Structure 1
Amino acid sequence: MNARDEIVDAMEGRRAELPPPAVFTSTATVSQMDSSGCSWPEANFDPQKLVGLSLEMNRRFGFGSVRLPFSISVEAKVHGCEVAEGKKDTPPMVLSSPYAGKGALSDVPDLMPVDEFLSSGWVASVLQAAELMNKHEEVFKTVSIDGPFSVAEFLAGAENMIMGLLMEPALVDKWISAMVPYQEAYASRVTELCDNVMVIEEADTSILPPEYFDQVIGSKLPGVILKAMKSSFCSLHSCGDTIAVVDELSNLGEDLISCEASESPRAYTERIHRKCKVLGSVNPIRVLMQGTPLDVLEAAAHSVEAGFDLIGPECGVSPLTSDENLMMLSHYRERLR
């Protein structure tokens, strides 16, 4: 059994005494860019370089998992948002949107047809990269897409959307609903090209109050998840504090959930209570980037004790993360046996 098979076993519910390491969030580091010859910003947009950099997690460190893309701005850019391409140590970032009203939520504009969205720009590049990476049968391949609410926030403006929940909830619903066909179609295409579709959605309760969860996420995301599960596993990731909604978040139909749970890992695993699998919960900044290999080993051991099914970072790997810490995470079981 290879490292990929171990991850498949975990996703299917065959939990090992020491769960396999895996990274489903962003994986690129400056060191991997140097060793692969595939560096940001070009490796965010060029399909060949995107695949080359993604595969370094397996080739350099032995992880059974690889993932692309390295940005959550893909859909927003194709819809017309201005996106900074970033630098070698900085990912792309949405700067502005032509649809974001100044201090108020604007109406939903006429957007491109779904077929055009799938064949345009950065989305088309990600799909091409996924096709190339799908040829690598030795690794467990994750492709990430955004959830409808996350895309709507980029297009309409995050502050406008949150204020709109109070002032114009029907218009907020209209914005999110407008994103659903694009994300369902994207999920339907991606699921044919990978082992796992990771849907990234904004469920942080410091931004989205828990009482709005069903309206914003619970009623819109299951359709995307269902499309993603057509030919692959589906995992769901949210940054931030989600403990108040983790019961609902883990009950949307996905195979696995990934949350920022390192501050209270057992509270998360107990609330999820086998509704789906759970990946975590090594802190990517305090432990993976700033800590030592011993810190990584201790965090992995605590995650095992808390009942996580896969052991990995709870959010994206920083580009400044050291090789030594990633190597320890990939081989943590050898130190604990």
Structure 2
Amino acid sequence: MNLKENVLAVLRDEETDVTPVVSVTQLGITEAMEKTDAFWPEAHSDAEKMAALGSSLYELAGLECARIPFCLTIEAEAMGCKVDLGNKDRTPQVVESPFESSSDISMPDDFLSKGRIPVVLDAIKKLKDKYGDTLPIIVGITGPFTLTGHLLGVEKLVRYMRTRQNEVESALDEALDISIEYANAIADAGPDIICVADPTSAPELIDPLQFKTIVKPRLEDLSMQINTSKVLHICGSTEPIIKDMAATGFDGLSIEEKVDIARAKEAIKGGGKTIRVGGRTMSMGGGDKVPKIIGNISSSETLFRGSPDQVKEEVKKVLESGVDIIAPSCGLAPSTPLENIKAMIEARNEFTVSNI
């Protein structure tokens, strides 16, 4: 079973011998930029450099995937927002939006030809041409609620959640259409996994009840439209919303280190009340698939500031907790040492051998 088959088998709830080590979130680091000559900000808008940097941690450290792009501003830029592409140490940011209210938001007919969308689609093709059926290709898109924040402004969005909910829901429906359009175009390009990152919907920013009633239904709609394996990533302490995340229909949930893996798995399985049917884990409540837990090696502390030994210790801890796919808890900091990425794979290998 090759690397691609291994990670996809896990997401399909099939038995595998090895726990995959991937990154479903941003993986560009400066050390890899230097070794591949694919630097930010050029790699954000050049398909060749995007593909090179997106696969760099596989080539240099053995990470078991390629992952592009390196920000959550692609859709907003294509909608007419002004984006600062940053530098080699800083990811792109939306700095200005042309939209004042939800009534101003309308996806143009030529949306898929705007901004850097063609670059991402071309980079997917380049990765597929190079790695074929051997390496999983992961492509990230922006979740509808986070995209709404880009279009209206995050502060305005959070304030409107309390005072003008109808305005939020109208804008969110427009953002959902944009997300679906972009996800369909990406799926047609042929990646193996689409990761929907919706960090603005974290419990630190909105109430869990608002997530359940406003955000969750749109994520369900988006999930239904994605015709590849699919992962949902939400930052922060997501335990209060983990069951609702699990109910959106994604194959995997990417979580940060603030979330206890064992408790998360218990919560999404409904207290462990599951049965095996045809080799799959099913919930006795409604028969829904139980998503896999992905994570949650601290990207802001252990991978960024820690030693390889500390990385290995954390990897073994999450394996003992039952993680399904090992991955950084969030996007990698650009200054993350390459040796710490290598340590994740080494720790998985050492753990696997010791448990044979």
What TM-score, normalized by structure 2, do the two folds share? 0.88
The offset of 1:15, in angstroms, is: 4.6
Question: Contact 1:269/1:306 (CA < 8 Å) preserved in 2?
Answer: no
Q: Secondary structure, in 3 states, of the residue corresponding to 1:95? A: strand
**Residue 42 (structure 2) aligns with:** 42
**Residue 19 (structure 1) aligns with:** 19
Q: Deviations over 1:113-142 (max 9, x none)?
A: 2x4111111122111211222222221000
Select 2:187's aligned residue among 188, 191, 195. 191
Structure 1 stretches lacking a partner, 5+ long: 101-105
The offset of 1:107, in angstroms, is: 3.8
Moved over 4 A (4+): 15-18
Taking the aligned partners of 2:104 and 2:213, their CA distance within structure 1 comes to 21
Please tell me the residue identity of whatever aligns with 1:65.
Answer: C
What TM-score, normalized by structure 1, do the two folds share? 0.93
Cα root mean square deviation, aligned? 1.6
Question: Contact 2:261/2:293 (CA < 8 Å) preserved in 1?
Answer: no
Taking the aligned partners of 1:110 and 1:239, their CA distance within structure 2 comes to 26
Question: Contact 2:102/2:168 (CA < 8 Å) preserved in 1?
Answer: no
Please tell me the residue identity of whatever aligns with 1:197.
Answer: I
Question: Contact 1:205/1:244 (CA < 8 Å) preserved in 2?
Answer: yes
Does 2:159 align with 1:144? no
Question: Contact 1:262/1:282 (CA < 8 Å) preserved in 2?
Answer: no
Once structures 1 and 2 are overlaid, which stretch shifts more, 302-311 or 271-280?
A: 271-280
Taking the aligned partners of 2:315 and 2:258, their CA distance within structure 1 comes to 10
Q: Secondary structure, in 3 states, of the residue corresponding to 2:236? A: coil
Question: Contact 1:50/1:69 (CA < 8 Å) preserved in 2?
Answer: yes
Question: Contact 1:144/1:197 (CA < 8 Å) preserved in 2?
Answer: yes
**Residue 149 (structure 2) aligns with:** 153
**Residue 76 (structure 1) aligns with:** 76
Question: Contact 1:142/1:195 (CA < 8 Å) preserved in 2?
Answer: yes
Does 2:328 align with 1:334? no
Question: Contact 2:105/2:174 (CA < 8 Å) preserved in 1?
Answer: no
**Residue 30 (structure 1) aligns with:** 30
Select 1:298's aligned residue among 293, 300, 313. 313
C-alpha distance 259-108 of structure 1, shift in aligned 2 (>3 A): farther
Does 2:120 align with 1:126? yes
Q: Deviations over 1:213-252 (max 9, x none)?
A: 1332112111211221x2x201000111211011001110
Please tell me the residue identity of whatever aligns with 1:108.
Answer: S
Taking the aligned partners of 2:156 and 2:105, their CA distance within structure 1 comes to 19
Question: Contact 2:20/2:325 (CA < 8 Å) preserved in 1?
Answer: yes
Does 2:90 align with 1:93? no
**Residue 208 (structure 2) aligns with:** 210
Please tell me the residue identity of whatever aligns with 1:203.
Answer: S
**Residue 286 (structure 2) aligns with:** none
Q: Percent identity?
A: 26
**Residue 103 (structure 1) aligns with:** none
Structure 2 stretches lacking a partner, 5+ long: 270-280, 282-289
Please tell me the residue identity of whatever aligns with 2:197.
Answer: I
**Residue 55 (structure 1) aligns with:** 55
Taking the aligned partners of 1:242 and 1:300, their CA distance within structure 2 comes to 20
Taking the aligned partners of 1:263 and 1:236, their CA distance within structure 2 comes to 15
Please tell me the residue identity of whatever aligns with 1:221.
Answer: L
**Residue 237 (structure 2) aligns with:** 241
Please tell me the residue identity of whatever aligns with 1:47.
Answer: A
Once structures 1 and 2 are overlaid, which stretch shifts more, 6-15 or 161-170?
A: 6-15
The offset of 1:98, in angstroms, is: 2.2
Please tell me the residue identity of whatever aligns with 1:118.
Answer: L
Taking the aligned partners of 1:72 and 1:240, their CA distance within structure 2 comes to 17
Does 2:340 align with 1:310? no
Please tell me the residue identity of whatever aligns with 1:181.
Answer: D
**Residue 10 (structure 1) aligns with:** 10
Once structures 1 and 2 are overlaid, which stretch shifts more, 1-10 or 236-245?
A: 1-10
The offset of 1:95, in angstroms, is: 1.4
Does 2:322 align with 1:325? no
Please tell me the residue identity of whatever aligns with 2:35.
Answer: S
Taking the aligned partners of 1:312 and 1:240, their CA distance within structure 2 comes to 15
- Aligned pairs for 1:226-265 (under 5 A) are 226-228=224-226, 230=227, 232-262=228-258, 264-265=260-261
Question: Contact 2:237/2:258 (CA < 8 Å) preserved in 1?
Answer: no
Question: Contact 1:15/1:309 (CA < 8 Å) preserved in 2?
Answer: no
Taking the aligned partners of 1:10 and 1:25, their CA distance within structure 2 comes to 18
**Residue 276 (structure 1) aligns with:** 291
Does 2:163 align with 1:167? yes
Question: Contact 1:31/1:323 (CA < 8 Å) preserved in 2?
Answer: yes
The offset of 1:293, in angstroms, is: 0.7
